[in-house]
Amino acid sequence: MAKSETNHPAKASSKKETLSREENLKQLEFQKEAVVHINSLYNYALHLTMNPDDAEDLVQETYLKAYRFFNSFERGTNCKAWLFKILKNNYINSFRKNSKEPGKVDYDLIKDFYHSIKDTRIDTSEADSDYFHTLLPEEVYLALQSLPEEFREVIQLCDIEGFTYEEIANMVESPIGTVRSRLYRGRKLLRAQLESYAKKYGYNTDTDQ
């Protein structure tokens, strides 16, 4: 009797230690696999919410969910793609529903963003004669934001985040053929928009017509 009484707490505490070691391992793996993508997720959240506070909340919720369901992440697949999908679902389920004006672009906010980091940007790789060179980052951003969401989304995922078509198809829950055609049409629209900005600077962009 006395033996079992002393045994019990000892057993409980050793179980607790095992659990916390597992928890530690999980946390380490999570940091290595998932937390390394935090900047990408934050930027994606900024693109979606157009608001730094909301973006932060969205990323936080995404990681909480991802951590809770980390066991269901298929090891060896692209963790970044998995996280993006969770973030997107989170955004659709809670943020977009609550947003006063869904999908509305806050142009002032975008400009503020860009002006606040203007001094740190470096872009001198292209030839000066290239009209693209004259485009300001906020113009490229605005051009992108002016696209219908279905086009903007695939361009972001492909060009900015570097996902494969297969990963994008999975994220937007559409066939690869749809991803292909959205990228094609979206880029066509985007280029027209960029060229209209470039024309503003007096560059002739009609050479390919």
Task: Mark the segment that binds other proteins (CB under 8 A) among 3-11, 98-106, 129-137.
Answer: 129-137
Question: Which residue of 158, 167, 170, 171 would you call a contact of other proteins, by CB under 8 A?
Answer: 158
CB of 60 to other proteins, least distance (A): 7
Q: Is residue 33 close enough to count as binding other proteins by CB under 8 A? A: no
Q: Is residue 111 close enough to count as binding other proteins by CB under 8 A? A: no
Question: Which residue of 111, 155, 172, 178 would you call a contact of other proteins, by CB under 8 A?
Answer: 155
CB of 180 to other proteins, least distance (A): 6
Q: Is residue 108 close enough to count as binding other proteins by CB under 8 A? A: no
Q: What is the DSSP letter of 174?
A: S
Q: Give the Cα separation of 35 and 63 in Å (integer).
A: 8
Among residues 12 and 64, whose Cβ is nearest to other proteins? 64
Displacement of CA 32 from its chain's centroid (Å): 18
The set of long-range contacts for 191-198, using a CB threshold of 8 Å and a minimum separation of 24, is 193/143, 193/146, 193/147, 194/132, 194/135, 194/139, 194/140, 194/143, 195/131, 197/135, 197/139, 197/143, 198/131, 198/132, 198/134, 198/135
Question: Which residue of 7, 14, 60, 196 would you call a contact of other proteins, by CB under 8 A?
Answer: 60
Q: Is residue 64 close enough to count as binding other proteins by CB under 8 A? A: yes
CB of 164 to other proteins, least distance (A): 7
CB of 101 to other proteins, least distance (A): 23
Q: Is residue 67 close enough to count as binding other proteins by CB under 8 A? A: yes
- List the alpha helices (DSSP H) in the chain: 2-33, 38-49, 52-68, 79-90, 96-98, 107-117, 137-145, 149-155, 165-172, 176-200
Length of the chain: 209
Q: Is residue 73 close enough to count as binding other proteins by CB under 8 A? A: no
Q: Is residue 71 close enough to count as binding other proteins by CB under 8 A? A: no
Residue with tokens 């995922």: 157
